[in-house]
Chains A and B, each alone.
Chain A
Amino acid sequence: MIEVQHLTKHYGDKVAVDDLSFTVEPGVVTGFLGPNGAGKSTTMRMILGLDRPTSGLALVDGKRYVDAPAPLAELGALLEAKSVDKGRTARNHLLALGATVGVNGRRVDEVLDLVGLTDVARQAAGSFSLGMGQRLGIAAALLADPSVLLLDEPVNGLDLDGIQWIRALLGELASEGRTVLLSSHLMSEMQLVADHLLVIGRGRILADSSMADFIATASDDRVQVESPDAARLAELLVGDGVTITSHEAGRLEVSGVGARAIGDTAARAGIALHQLTPAIASLETAYLELTRESVDYVGSVHTEREVA
């Protein structure tokens, strides 16, 4: 379990993390989301004791990580993928790290096998691809069988095999009762793997809820309708609180009326429907709605939004 209490970090005048409080429960995968610069990495670094909080407290299984009697066995972390000496082999890298708590060579080989690096275990880490480096970082995190895992962008650089592998791995680690906190920019990936969500923006908590509840907040009731007689159907649907948009002939995007009502209206008027699809709210839409206000860096290319 990770408990963060009133955690605050200032870098000069800039407030990176602002009075953050949350709890990450064991047994589930918790996703950590937020725009670039929202303070995710800083928060993770403070939990791990790499950065000193300006004020507040981060506890790992009830104590500060600095006070852990067996640090690597308490918390395994993947923060900077390339925090490896390029001149050292993967196996020696893990041996050196593991030695701090008494992890032996047999366990190192076991973890190398688990992440699929056995064949390159005796190659210099500097020769590794991004994905292999990522696997080595995950191996380091799992080395001493920790009860808490902190993974910053673990799928970064992994191929499809790797992504499916880590998805299964994270689920299994959580089901074993471990605490798993991971950040990712890939919303679709996060939606598949996380059970719980923490969303932060500008160093503050924006949301702390289950994945299902969070997506439900997106309240997306748009329905895609395709009909050869779209114009007549639109006339019939017009009413209070109903918005109808059409980007091309024969297609409507309707909100304010449910799919069932649209279908019934069409049936009564004898209008054929070729498609009637309620938009499924996704993590991405929910997330975008929530963080629109708190994005630090806005790109110059705007996605076209519906014209009412």
Chain B
Amino acid sequence: MTTTTTSPVADGTDPRPAHGGGRHPGAHEAYRLSYARVLRSEWIKLRTLRSTWVGLASVVVVLVGFGLIAAGVSTGSVAPAGGGGGGGPRTQGPLDTVLLGANFGVLLLGIIGCLAGAREYASRMITATVAAVPTRGSVVTAKAVVLTALVLPISLVATLIAFFAGTAVLEAGGATTVALTDAGVLRAVLGTAVWLDVIALLGLALGILLRNTAASIGTLIGGVIILPGIAGALLPSGGQSVLKYLPSTAAESFTQLTPPAGDLSAGAGALVLAAWLVLAIGGAVVAIRQRDV
């Protein structure tokens, strides 16, 4: 039985000298760890799991579908179940209506992110991963990069489709609409797509930090989505000045056309969210480097 004969490398060429029986130093010049290769490895991992594609497909369906339904309901062309005719949510503007699905998309992408981070701990694949990349930190950032490379374009396209399709429904129903060129609309649409990506990255970091799918999903949904609402009700009036620095509130400042009074400015909100992201990913890098696997 032959164990190894040749081991050509990915680039097609085979710069490695063929070796016979004996080992010699430098037998592996062609095999080298590099950041580009860690990226490639993480990309293969992400794209070869069916759950990635099922999850992202549902994000698109939810974003576009909910936008269309909400637009239909608000123009009265779709009657709400058990409802007394048209009407619908009058409190929100046309942009909120067509991007209604983003609220659920945030949930889905948060979960997708948590899975991307914690899944290897559940399967113990992390042992093989860390053995292959013993410096470890690059695994976390590579996961973040490939996740963004997949999630951001899809979020962007889905958000834009939701915007245009929903707006078309509103127009057909004779309702008020906004155009991308109106003040703040483009920022809010792009901002929504970015927020969808950021929530996935926060989930990824939590998944790695907590090493447990359920715990990270619970923490993400509790901390990022539920906590701001509860805390707002519980905290004394001064608490509002703290709440605006929470990730979801900071995101509101640039995903909403007219953010609630007291929120940060769009630029400041983006910076605060970026700080959260750096903190989370940085924390995950430190944790994976420090801990025993």
Contacts and interface: CB of A to CB of B under 8 A. Distances in A.
Interface stretch (A49-57, A218-226, A229-237, A291-299): A49-57
B63 to A, nearest CB: 25
Contacts of A82: 123-124
A70 B33 contact: yes
B44 interface: yes
B44 A99 contact: yes
Nearest to B119: A85
A228 interface: no
B51 interface: yes
Contacts of B42: 96
A70 B28 contact: yes
Contacts of A106: 8
Interface stretch (B80-88, B130-138, B208-216, B234-242): B130-138
Nearest to B48: A92
B31 A73 contact: yes
Contacts, number: 157
B33 A69 contact: yes
Interface in B37-72: 37-38, 40-42, 44-45, 48-51
A142 B125 contact: no
B32 A69 contact: yes
A71 B132 contact: yes
A103 interface: yes
A88 B51 CA distance: 10
A104 B15 CA distance: 13
B9 A102 contact: yes
A173 B2 CA distance: 10
Interface string B103-129: 000000000000000011001111111
B181 interface: no
Contact of A68 (B48, B126, B134): B134
- Report the contact-size class of chain A (Cβ under 8 Å from the partner): 35 or more
Contacts of A129: none
B293 interface: yes
A111 B44 CA distance: 18
B31 A50 contact: no
B260 interface: no
B182 interface: no
A176 interface: yes
A88 B1 CA distance: 28
A123 B241 CA distance: 54
B214 to A, nearest CB: 17
B44 A96 contact: yes
A79 B133 CA distance: 15
A88 B48 contact: yes
Given A51-B293, A88-B45, A92-B48, A103 B9 contact: yes
B134 A71 contact: yes
A202 interface: no
9 contacts: A26-B23, A66-B134, A72-B132, A84-B125, A85-B45, A88-B49, A100-B33, A100-B38, A110-B5
Interface of A: 26, 45, 48-52, 65-66, 68-75, 77, 79-80, 82-89, 92, 95-104, 106-107, 110, 114, 140, 142, 144-145, 147, 165, 168-169, 172-173, 175-178
6 tightest Cβ-Cβ pairs between the two chains A and B:
A177-B23, A73-B31, A99-B41, A73-B28, A92-B48, A104-B10
